């Protein structure tokens, strides 16, 4: 299928004087946005607790935010989820992660006769040899020398100011052989829901949220660093592949095009105040691969035409090659765009943001193959040709001199 008349050549390189400055502006603006106001990291990267709740009555985001703040959580982030079945569907994010602070952890260890603060008259059936706390502060795991007395243990831990989750099996012995006990305590998500029920009323707030997730600050930093490194490593390997597949003239153009597309996508997300999450990074990596594939198709045609049309300039070869692959590029990009557009229109939450990133990346990737990668390759070819001409001229002058 041909969208354009076969044999027709468009002067793409003649228009690069307008499009190259646009690309520079987009990259500069995106880099500025990364500093001011900076990325809006999701819970994946900055840490915290995220609770998804579908309220049973009409509420707006401001009222929910006020209720969360009155419940003792600082700087809550409340986002309304687009849900046709329930208009009062919200994502609530708070910075707090663990329900157990250091002081309370020390008190629990003392109650279990473990650590430096343990009393000297501890009975053997509550004497713990090991105490561990989950990162979210919702689970206490302890190991004892002998079979523990659960009733006595519960009383001592509750006396330290810790409340238990309501359950017939809490606490429970999870491994009788090594006398390991697990105690479940309310998490920050549970505290947030309980605070909402207290502030808004039990008739509006369900007993259980739809979803509770938490990420510690240390884990969030590790995820953020890993995401940045994964994008950088992917680009480095792309450059190595292209250097072997083509030659060094072509590799920088693809790398710059991939960086251009990734930076533009992140810049648009920051401008729209969209969250940067692991799904966003997954979309960026997908875009990098998509952009590389599209650029390689153009490069492969350029390499073929360089051998066929040796009398043409490099810019003319680029115009011919891009014109010959233009129908294929638009059909491929258009088909991919239609598929992703469906997710943008009818998707929700993370899927919608992923689709938005993909659409921006498809447009940027198609554009950068023509007006970022190709012009840079032409510029590098010109520099290398000029350098070779200077060397050849010097060699001829040296050979012409009498020995």
389 pLDDT band, cuts 50/70/90, is low
Strands 139-144 and 40-41: unpaired
pLDDT tens, position by position, 286-311: 888 888 888 888 888 888 888 888 88
Model confidence at 349, pLDDT cuts 50, 70, 90, reads: low
Cα–Cα distance measured from residue 331 to residue 345, given in angstroms and rounded to the nearest whole number? 21
pTM of structure: 0.69
Q: Which strands sit side by side in the sheet containing 172-175, from one edge to the other?
A: 128-133, 139-144, 180-184, 172-175
pLDDT digits (tens, 9 = 90+) for 93-151: 887 777 777 888 888 888 888 876 666 667 777 788 888 888 777 888 999 888 888 88
pLDDT for the residue numbered 348: 67
368-382 pLDDT per residue, tens: 888 888 888 888 888
Mean pLDDT of 343-368: 85
pLDDT value of residue 28: 94
- Token reading at 295: 């650029």
CA distances from 348 to 17, 90, 180, 344, 345 (A): 40, 12, 42, 8, 9
The predicted structure's pLDDT at residue 220: 67
Convert 367-378 to b/e letters by CB count within 10 Å (16 or more is b): bbbbbbbbbbbb
Checking if the pLDDT of 30 tops 90, the result is yes
Domains of the chain, start order: 13-41+216-386 (1.20.1640.10), 48-94+189-213 (3.30.70), 102-186 (3.30.70)
* pLDDT attached to residue 392: 65
Whole-number pLDDT of residue 388: 64
393: pLDDT strictly greater than 70: no
Q: What's the pLDDT tens digit per position in 138-195?
A: 888 999 888 888 888 888 888 888 888 888 888 888 888 888 999 888 888 888 899 9
List Cβ neighbours of 301 (8 Å cut-off, separation of 6 or more). 321, 322, 324, 325
Give the tens place of pLDDT for each residue, 32-54: 999 988 888 877 777 788 889 99
User: What Rg do the C-alpha atoms of the chain give, in angstroms?
Assistant: 31
**Residue 125 CA neighbour count, 13 Å, CB half:** 11
State the pLDDT at residue 342.
87
Mean pLDDT, rounded, of the chain: 83
């Amino acid at each position: 299928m041909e969208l354009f008349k076969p044999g027709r050549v468009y002067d793409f390189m003649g228009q690069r004087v307008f499009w190259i400055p646009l690309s520079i502006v987009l990259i500069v603006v995106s880099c500025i946005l990364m500093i001011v106001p900076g990325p809006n990291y999701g819970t994946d990267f900055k840490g915290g607790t995220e609770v998804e709740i579908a309220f049973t009555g009409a509420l707006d985001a401001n009222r929910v935010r006020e209720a969360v703040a009155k419940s003792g959580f600082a700087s809550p982030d409340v986002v309304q989820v687009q849900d046709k079945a329930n208009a009062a569907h919200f994502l609530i994010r708070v910075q707090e992660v663990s329900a157990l602070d250091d002081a309370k952890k020390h008190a629990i260890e003392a109650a279990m006769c473990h650590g430096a603060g343990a009393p000297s008259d501890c009975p053997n059936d509550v004497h713990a040899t090991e105490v561990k706390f989950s990162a979210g502060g919702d689970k206490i795991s302890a190991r004892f020398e002998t079979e523990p007395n659960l009733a006595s243990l519960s009383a001592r831990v509750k006396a330290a100011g810790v409340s238990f989750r309501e359950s017939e099996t809490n606490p429970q012995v999870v491994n009788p052989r090594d006398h390991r006990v697990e105690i479940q305590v309310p998490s920050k998500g549970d505290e947030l829901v309980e605070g909402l029920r207290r502030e808004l009323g039990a008739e509006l707030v369900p007993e259980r949220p739809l979803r509770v997730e938490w990420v510690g600050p240390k884990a969030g930093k590790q995820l953020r660093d890993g995401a940045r490194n994964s994008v950088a490593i992917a680009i480095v390997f792309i450059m190595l592949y292209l250097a072997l597949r083509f030659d060094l003239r072509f590799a920088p153009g693809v790398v710059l095009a991939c960086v251009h597309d990734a930076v533009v996508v992140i810049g648009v997300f920051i401008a729209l105040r969209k969250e940067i999450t692991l799904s966003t990074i997954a979309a960026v990596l997908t875009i990098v691969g998509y952009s590389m594939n599209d650029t390689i198709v153009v490069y492969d045609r350029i390499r073929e035409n360089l051998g066929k049309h040796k009398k043409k300039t490099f810019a003319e070869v680029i115009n011919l090659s891009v014109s010959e692959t233009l129908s294929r590029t638009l059909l491929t990009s258009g088909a991919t765009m239609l598929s992703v557009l469906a997710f943008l229109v009818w998707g929700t939450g993370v899927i919608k943001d992923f689709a938005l990133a993909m659409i921006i990346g498809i447009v940027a990737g198609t554009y950068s193959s023509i007006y970022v990668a190709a012009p840079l390759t032409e510029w590098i070819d010109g520099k290398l040709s000029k350098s070779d001409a200077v060397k050849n001229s010097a060699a001829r002058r040296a050979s012409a001199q009498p020995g």
